[in-house]
């Protein structure tokens, strides 16, 4: 496995993928590693990781809540707190919720952040699906 030297870090691609011919793991580094880390953080339930039971963001527990102003503020605070505790490489600038797809069961969480070491600004768009499964048409 080739080791990539990166000051932002290098990690396995998620979901993990392997190359049989090279006997290697697909890796991500730099800003892609930060984006992957944010996706993993927002999709992990607290208690799901064995050695880090506090890691994660329990968005899935909020599926059936009404999307009021108070609830939107709660979601923003939940995401901000999870990033604050578990992703020290970035600083959150702004979190916005786009609930235009609420009737379809989708709320888009847009996170604007700054990578601390490079002072570079990025954004991450996370579609949070309030209803699981696929639409089955007959």
pLDDT per residue over 92-123, tens digit each? 999 999 888 766 777 889 999 999 988 999 99
134 domain-assigned: no
What is d(CA 65, CA 86) in angstroms, rounded to the nearest whole number?
Answer: 25
Residue with tokens 């048409």: 137
CATH code of residue 102: 3.10.450.40
Mean pLDDT of all residues in 31-57: 90
Residue with tokens 């020290």: 88
Q: Please give the mean pLDDT across all residues of the chain.
A: 82
Q: What is the dihedral of CA 73, 98, 102, 62, to 10 degrees?
A: -30
pLDDT over 60 at 66, yes or no: yes
The domain total for the chain is 1
For residues 112 and 63, the model is more confident at: 112
5 domain-assigned: no
1 domain-assigned: no
Mean pLDDT of all residues in 15-37: 81
pTM value?
Answer: 0.78
135 domain-assigned: no
What is d(CA 87, CA 134) in angstroms, rounded to the nearest whole number?
Answer: 31
* Model pLDDT, residue 107: 84
Select from 51, 29, 124 the least CA-distant residue to 83.
Answer: 124
Show the domain range for 87.
10-129
136 domain-assigned: no
4 domain-assigned: no
């Amino acid at each position: 496995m080739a080791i990539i030297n990166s000051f932002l870090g290098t990690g396995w691609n998620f979901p993990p993928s392997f190359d049989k011919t090279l006997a290697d793991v697909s890796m991500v580094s730099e800003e892609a590693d930060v984006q992957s880390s944010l996706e993993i953080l927002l999709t992990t339930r607290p208690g799901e990781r064995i050695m880090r039971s506090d890691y994660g963001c329990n968005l899935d527990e909020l599926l059936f809540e009404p999307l009021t102003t108070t609830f939107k503020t709660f979601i923003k605070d939940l995401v901000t707190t999870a990033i604050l505790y578990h992703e020290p490489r970035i600083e959150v600038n702004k979190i916005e919720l786009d609930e235009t797809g609420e009737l379809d069961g989708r709320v888009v969480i847009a996170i604007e952040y700054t990578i601390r070491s490079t002072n570079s600004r990025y954004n991450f768009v996370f579609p949070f699906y309030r209803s699981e499964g696929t639409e089955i048409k007959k």
